[in-house]
Amino acid sequence: MTDVRDYGFRWGTSASSLTNETGLNSTTKTSGSYTVSISSLAAGTTYYYRAYVVDFNAGTILGEVKSFKTSSGQGVDTYRPYMQNYEMPAINFKSGTKYDSGDETNGGYMYYSNQTTNSRQMVVTHTYKYNNKVYRNYTCLVDGDKQAPLWSAFVMHKDAYPDKNAGRNNGWKKDPAVPEDWQQDSSGSTDGETYNRGHFVASSYRQTSDDANKQTFYRTNQALQVGNNFNGLIWNDVEKEVIANAPTGRDTLYVVVGILYEGTPKYLDGVQIPSHFYKLLMQCGFNSSGEMTSAKGVAYLFKNQSYSKTDDYNNYATTIDAVESRSGFDFFANVPSQFQEAAEKQSSPWF
């Protein structure tokens, strides 16, 4: 094979239904072996897996199905799809619970929801099918009291999420994975300021298919954000640069977008308005065996206010550590510590 665009493993707890996929997002390997690491597996459980390689010319090539069994003392109390990805923050799951799943409103596949130790917060992953392959769109932590996602974690990669000009499929809709009274659908004005529904995963980030784009219009992918002088200016500038700098090949860009609630609370239609929005970036490099070899990070933190057309988003760069301190979250928790610690201390813009 000379034109590989992706390879990895499909796996699950049933030999006939390998519904989970851990890909390496690599386009450079043409021969040899590769490995991946999978965490958060249930103890005493048999897992099945098969290797795959996607070639532009030959299509998807699958290896034979094999299996392994975790030891009785290995893993956590439940099995939770997609929680091992590098961009995932640390999560306190409710002990003794298993994930729930159901049909996506758009996407042709499944959503997964997970209970946390906070009964008013849940973790949701949205997936979609494209060319008979399942893709994870994004994972978010939804807060029922705030009626907003506290963060959304996702991947930017030009090969894995190619731009097919799907367009902007406007029309905010209920997230099927989350109770309706946890979801707000407000926009408007208060105290002289106009607020839009500010995307976490931008519509422009998911242009591979209509289904992928429509999932960015779930109500759990937005929060009240100052309109044309923030959402349409400096925030939009950062979104464009992330798209322009999404990698190909072995590098992968991991992104977390979130909000803070600091200072005196402000409300619109009974929904608390975030005081800040942040975007955290960590780009990781991998060798031909899928092992991480490098990582660089930066964070952007903005007050939820109007900005000037001349404001440069690079003036709002800070460290991931600084946002962790203010938010209380441990971001990029699955990145190996020898790379994570240095990357989270970096504040110099690199695009």
Instruction: Say whether both 134 and 6 belong to one domain.
Output: no
Residue 215 DSSP symbol? G
Rg, Å, the chain Cα set: 20
Provide the CATH number for the domain around residue 54. 2.60.40.10
Are residues 48 and 170 both part of a single domain? no
120 with 21, same domain: the answer is no
pLDDT at 74 over 60: no
> Does 30 share its domain with 102?
no
CB 279 within 8 Å of CB 238: yes
Has residue 16 been placed in a domain?
A: yes
| Structure token digits, residue 110 | 């499944």
Statement: residue 287 has pLDDT above 90 = no
Structure tokens at 9: 């493993």
Q: Which residues pair with 335 in a beta bridge?
A: none
Number of structural domains found in the chain: 2
Has residue 350 been placed in a domain? Answer: no
Model-wide pTM > 0.75: yes
Does a structural domain hold residue 34? yes
Specify the CATH number for the domain of residue 204.
3.40.570.10
* Of the candidate ranges 86-95, 197-206, 300-309, the one whose mean pLDDT is the lowest: 86-95
Distance CA(303)–CA(30), nearest Å, equals: 47
Higher pLDDT, 5 or 176: 176
Residue 348 lies in a domain: no
Helices and strands: H and E segment counts in the chain: 4, 19
- Dump pLDDT digits (tens) for 112-124: 999 999 999 999 9
* Assigned domain for 351 exists: no
Same domain, residue pair 282 and 204: yes
Q: How far apart are CA 103 and CA 109, in angstroms?
A: 6
| pLDDT at residue 60 tops 60 | yes
Considering the domain architecture, whether residues 67 and 146 belong to the same structural domain is answered as no
More confident residue, 234 or 132: 234
Q: Are residues 60 and 191 in the same domain?
A: no
Tell me, yes or no, whether 139 and 188 share the same domain. yes
- Which structural domain, as residue segments, surrounds residue 43? 1-76
Same domain, 182 and 253: yes
**Which of these three, 22, 56, 76, is where a domain ends?**
76
Shared-domain flag, residues 130 and 184: yes
Among 323, 334, 329, smallest CA distance to 284 is for 334
pLDDT for position 75: 41
User: Stretch 296-316: mean pLDDT, rounded?
Assistant: 97
| Residue 7 shares a structural domain with residue 148 | no
Assign 220 a pLDDT band (cuts: 50, 70, 90). very high
93 vs 34: which has the higher pLDDT: 93
Residue 322 lies in a domain: yes
Going by pLDDT thresholds of 50, 70 and 90, the confidence category of residue 41 is low
- Residue 29 pLDDT > 80: no
Domain termination residue (choose one: 42, 76, 110): 76
Q: Which of 38, 60, 76 is the last residue of a domain?
A: 76
Predicted local confidence at residue 169, as pLDDT: 85
The upper half-sphere exposure of residue 172, i.e. CA atoms within 13 Å in the direction of its Cβ, equals 14
Question: Are 27 and 67 found together in one domain?
Answer: yes
Residue-level pLDDT at 35: 75
